[in-house]
Structure 1
Amino acid sequence: MNIDAHQHYWDPARGDYGWLTPDMKSLFRVFGSDDLAPLRKSVDVQKTVVVQAAPTVDETRYLLDLARGDDSIAGVVGWVPLDSPDAVKIIDELARDPKLKAVRPMLQDLPDDTWIEHAPRKEAIERLIDLDLAFDALIFARHVPSLMRFVERYPTLRIVVDHGAKPPIRDGIDAGWQPWADGIAQLAALPQRLHCKLSGLATEANPNWTEATLKPYVAHLLDHFGPERLMWGSDWPVLNLNGSYTAWHSTARNLTSHLEKAEQDAIFGANARAFYRL
């Protein structure tokens, strides 16, 4: 089964997507399953993991409501205020829905780059572990030291790094490569064996990106995480800002075509299924 391990649905009228403004004309509208279905089918993707795009519990409830009526949604990555005294109560409420598979604080948007190492409440993270829920880490290279401390504190928490830690591809390989490449190597070497999403790379590139543009970044992720810990995701519809579903899927397929079929199958479905308990 082919799985898109990272995509979004939203309705701007809900009013809690602070980053989504009317000037983002290609994104500022409702995106739902009917929009994605023909794109999925064109590349033979059967299931998806829908990821939160607003830092609110209400948006997570909205996504879970969508998932209940849509077999193509295999799982939901939601949002919980992990630093709140009510965090455990909220986790328990949301986890009653079997399609809740993980939570994601939007670390890239927080003013404190070290938030993850000191702010989440211990009992909240331990509850995620008790319920066998995973954790999506939305980070840049600058967050790596704090994320590593968090990982070391909770060695049994399943963690996936979103979007390959968002390398600064548009700055050129000479300008932004090293801090990102070093951070990936450090995270991949942790004994907890973090996973990583092969997603979001097109968004971080210039508009005229090509397969050659993304090749060194994909190769570096493969070298360190290996095909057994990478999972493909579209990041649709954010992807629409700088690419298309079919173009990114084709590029990712081409850049992993040298692998054995079982390894390709792992990246494009099996790893997501196992990691998220789909």
Structure 2
Amino acid sequence: MTTPATTATTAKIDAHQHYWDPSRGDYDWLTPAMTALYRIFGPRDLAPLRERCGVTRTVVVQAAQTVEETRYLLALARDDASIAGVVGWVPLDDPQAPELIADLAREPKLRAVRPMLQDLPDDDWIATADTSRAVEALIAHDLAFDALIFTRHADALATFLARHPALRVVIDHGAKPPIRDGDAGWSAWADAITRFARFPQVCCKLSGLATEAAPGWTDATLRPWIEHLLAAFGAERLMWGSDWPVLNLNGDYERWHVCAQRLLATSTDAERQAVFGANAAAFYRL
């Protein structure tokens, strides 16, 4: 990925957040028992949090495995300038996927798609499913691919990446490192990150880490994981995201934003501007 020239006025972009309305009925994972999350979250809820952190635009990411939710997010985006792009969902192994992608791509703010790989019963699905025609359509329409994975998906995703070198891919949430497990899960995760970073078409999101940590996390808790992501991908291929409102389960918007800034304090101004905005703008063609 080529990072655009950055200046002191580079706009901050939140590269990963969600909006949803549980009454729509297609969020299989979102239940009334999740009291912190089971309500409508929309642009008005995020606006004051963004403003306090100087974030001007966001990329809103799908949270339901339906085309209907993608159209719901695209409708929100049409009416809200703060939504710079939408990461939607399509059934990539459906024979009609190329036509569906072409239809959705008429919406200028559709910038990527995301199959929810972490929730699929088959960890190897992305390597074995017949998605080639859908991927060709994504490339043809200059759309990217968000990979929502755990370490256990590393082999399958690496196979997929090798098969499609022209597809822009971003690893969501740093591949969800097992932060709660400490050293027990470090080696396999760190090796997977190093492996992914060898693919030049792959970027990674600095997001979702607080959710993977135990309650009471601090800068010190997250530092080694962030340092490895930075060492593997470099500032030119990392992009900061909040994962709000999921973040509310174990943190808050401002706390995570400030933490990430502190942990990148030794980077140059240009590198921080890249991570906090310019990389997302380049990767998602915002």
TM-score by length of structure 1 reads: 0.98
Q: Which of 207, 211, 225 lines up with 2:219 in the alignment?
A: 211
- Equivalent residue in structure 2 for 1:87, among 85, 92, 97: 97
Q: Which amino acid aligns with 1:76?
A: V
Any idea what SS the aligned residue of 2:60 has?
strand
Task: Name the counterpart of 1:10.
Answer: 20
In the other structure, the counterpart of 2:243 is 235
Unaligned runs of 5+ in 2: 1-10
Q: Which of 174, 180, 196 is the aligned partner of 1:187?
A: 196
Amino acid at match of 1:268: F
114-123 vs 178-187, greater mean Cα deviation: 114-123
Return the offset for 1:175.
1.2
What is the Cα deviation at residue 183 of structure 1? 0.3
Instruction: Show the 5 A alignment for 1:88-167.
Output: 88-167=98-177
| Percent identity for Structure 1 against Structure 2 | 66
Shift of 1:125: 0.5
Alignment partner of 1:246 is 2:254: yes
RMSD: 0.6
| CA distance in 2 between partners of 1:136 and 1:215 (Å) | 24
2:265 corresponds to 1:257: yes
Q: Whose RCO is larger (CA < 8 A, sep 6+)? A: 2
Q: Secondary structure at the match of 1:209?
A: coil
Q: Distance in 2 between matches of 1:97 and 1:212?
A: 42
May I ask how many residue pairs the two structures share in their alignment? 276
Give the secondary structure class of the aligned counterpart of 1:46: strand
Give yes or no for contact 2:167–2:201 (8 Å, CA) kept in 1: no
Number of the residue aligned with 1:226: 234
What is the alpha-carbon distance in structure 1 between the residues aligned to residue 252 and residue 120 of structure 2?
28
Name the CA distance, whole Å, in 2 between partners of 1:195 and 1:41.
26
Q: CA deviation at 1:105?
A: 0.1
3-state SS in 2 of match to 1:20? coil
Query: Which of 53, 56, 60 is residue 43 of structure 1 equivalent to?
Result: 53
Distance 1:63 1:146, change over 3 A: same
Change (3 A) 1:236 1:222: same
Shift in Å at residue 86 of structure 1? 1.2
Q: For 1:176 and 1:144, locate their aligned partners in 2 and report how far apart those are by CA, in whole Å.
A: 14
Q: Distance in 2 between matches of 1:122 and 1:209?
A: 41
Shift of the 148–32 alpha-carbon distance from structure 1 to 2, 3 Å rule, reads same
SS in 2 for 1:80: coil
1:29 aligns with 2:39: yes
SS at structure 1 position matched to 2:50 = helix
- In the TM superposition, what whole-angstrom CA distance separates every residue of 1:147-187 from its partner, at most 9, and x where no partner exists? 11111111100000000000011112x11111100100111
**Aligned-partner residue type, residue 66 of structure 2:** T
Match status 1:197 vs 2:205: yes
How far is the alpha carbon of 1:121 from its aligned partner? 2.3
What residue number does 1:177 align with?
A: 186
User: 1:120 Cα shift?
Assistant: 3.9
- In structure 1, what is the Cα distance between the partners aligned to 2:285 and 2:116? 22
Given that 2:166 and 2:201 are in contact with CA atoms closer than 8 Å, whether structure 1 keeps it comes out as: no
Cα distance in 2 for residues equivalent to 1:18 and 1:176: 28
CA distance in 2, matches of 1:273, 1:121: 27
TM-fit CA distance, 1:85: 1.1
